[in-house]
Amino acid sequence: MPKLTSPPATSRRHFLKLSATGVGLLLAAPLVFSSADYAAVLTQNKKIYRGTFDGRILVSMNNGQSWQQVVDFGKKYTITKITADEQGIVSVNLTDQHLNFWVHSKNDVHWMTDNYA
């Protein structure tokens, strides 16, 4: 008859340390996966614009193969909409907890509010 052996003893402290690590990883997982999500997307004249939840606008000129950041409005803002008019002016809606406003650009470099566009 084979000899039965018990699994190695695990101390309560070691078990709790491993459990806390597992819970920490599970709580952090949604943050890791959501960082690649984009709040707004616009395709215009072979350019793809992506607005992020942390206030950045990325542009791809090669159908999404690579991305370049064109502006960073700051982590407190979310890019909720990106539009373009027939003249090629790109408009971006930014929001935070208290503000909601539009900025516009003709060249992806200078961004102005409605009062200055």
Q: Which amino acid is at 61?
A: M
Residue 9 located in a structural domain = no
Q: Which pLDDT value is given to residue 93?
A: 95
Q: What is the CATH number of the domain that holds 84?
A: 2.40.10
Our count of domains for the chain comes to: 1
CB 99 within 8 A of CB 78: no
Structural domain boundaries, residue 61: 38-111
* pLDDT surpasses 80 at 25: no
Question: Above pLDDT 70, what percent of the chain?
Answer: 67
pLDDT digits (tens, 9 = 90+) for 29-66: 333 333 446 788 999 888 999 999 999 999 999 999 99
CA–CA distances in Å: residue 62 to residues 46, 49, 66, 74, 89: 8, 12, 7, 26, 20
Residue 95 located in a structural domain = yes
pLDDT digits (tens, 9 = 90+) for 96-111: 988 899 999 999 999 9
